[in-house]
Amino acid sequence: MIDSHPEKRTKKRKLLWWIHVGFLVGLLLSYTTTFIAPKNFSGLGFFGLAYPWFITVNLVAAVLWLLARRRKRFLITLVVILLGWNIHNDFFALNIGKSEVENPMKVMSYNVRVFDLYNWSNGSRSRDSIFNLLDRQQADIICFQEFYHTDKKGIFDTRDTLIKFLPTVYYHEKYTHKMAGQQYFGVVTMSRYPIVGKGEVAFVSDQNNFCIYSDLQVNNDTIRVYNAHLASIRFDNEDYQFIQDEKKRNWPGAKRMLTRMNLAFDKRAEQTLAILESTKKSPYPVILCCDFNDSPISYGYHLLEEELTDAFVEAGNGIGRSYAGDFPSFRIDYMFSSPEIKATNFQVIREKFSDHYPIVGQFEFAKKE
């Protein structure tokens, strides 16, 4: 049978190819977010956020071009994918088998969203569910972000209650807000090991977020544990309505959200540099727990990765999704460590009592050669 519309078919194939070229360019631009500072290229960070879609489309397209015997197009796609090999490894981890360690340090990092104080879901019930989770895990070190504490006894007990049933009786806290009625909001590090030193990393660009560090005496060694909460996008109710309700979506709303996100890219890059400056001066090996509020395909993440080891990459599996809120989910919570401290296990606990899932890592001191 004679093809009566060869020109139309050719045009469709060319159109598909040029659409695919757009996704190839998008994937390449997502790679560049890892080494170009956001302040030097406004808006580039959005390509990093879109990386999961770019890589998925290109993987599917590579298979289709191969099946269609479009060798040149397949090879071009394959080359672009392979150019980001190291980046793909940061996004997706595969570690078969788990190292058995006799006495590992078990570390948890958890943004608890002030224990659901404002009854976003179930208030006290959510708090108690978090307590039960912590009790089951029995971590040696816990880094909390968006922690809530009040000096009013019996009202909404958090810190003092945790000390009663967890082994982490030593604590280091820093609060961003102090409100009337003796209410406190901030970050807290709790430890089974004695805290022999404390400090903080100030963020000049944002007084609502910061980083603390605690020097812990672990047997005959001392380690420095950083607990950081980096700049969030700070969506308001109007922004969440834009995400959830199609009728609320318009250009002014989209522009407002994009502007906030772009500003947050810049802030997080500056804050990451401040943390790195501190870790480089540390006299002890470090573990960094962080609500990073950004994906692994970002400038700040790769600054950290150049100096420290990502526990998820070293000992985790899958994509490590840790955000559980309304915005599209990413891995935004991290644990990094110095070469002297090796991650032997890493997991994300899929229990939703906050808009973040808790992450747990097991560490041991690396054997000296």
Contact 54, 87 (CB under 8 A): no
Delineate the domains of the chain, giving CATH numbers in brackets.
6-91 (no CATH), 106-365 (3.60.10.10)
Cα separation, 169 vs 174, whole angstroms: 16
Q: HSE on the CB side for 315, CA within 13 Å?
A: 24
159 contact partners, CB below 8 Å, separation of at least 6: 147, 149, 171, 173, 188
Q: pLDDT value at position 122?
A: 63
Q: pLDDT value at position 368?
A: 64
DSSP letter for each residue of 246-312? GGG--HHHHHHHHHHHHHHHHHHHHHHHHHHHHHHH-SS-EEEEEE--S-SSSHHHHHHHHHSEEHH
| Listed residue (162, 156, 175) closest to 118, CA to CA | 156
Cα separation, 112 vs 114, whole angstroms: 5
Q: pLDDT value at position 1?
A: 46
DSSP letter for each residue of 195-234? EEEEEEE--TT-TT--EEEEEEEETTEEEEEEEEEPPP--
User: In Å, what is the CA distance from 137 to each residue of 24, 73, 178, 323, 359?
Assistant: 43, 50, 30, 20, 11
- Return averaged pLDDT per consecutive 10 residues of the chain, 369 residues in all: 60 88 98 94 91 96 95 97 96 82 90 83 80 97 94 82 95 82 88 98 84 96 97 62 59 71 89 97 98 95 96 96 79 97 96 95 83
Contact 228, 273 (CB under 8 A): no
Cα separation, 57 vs 190, whole angstroms: 43
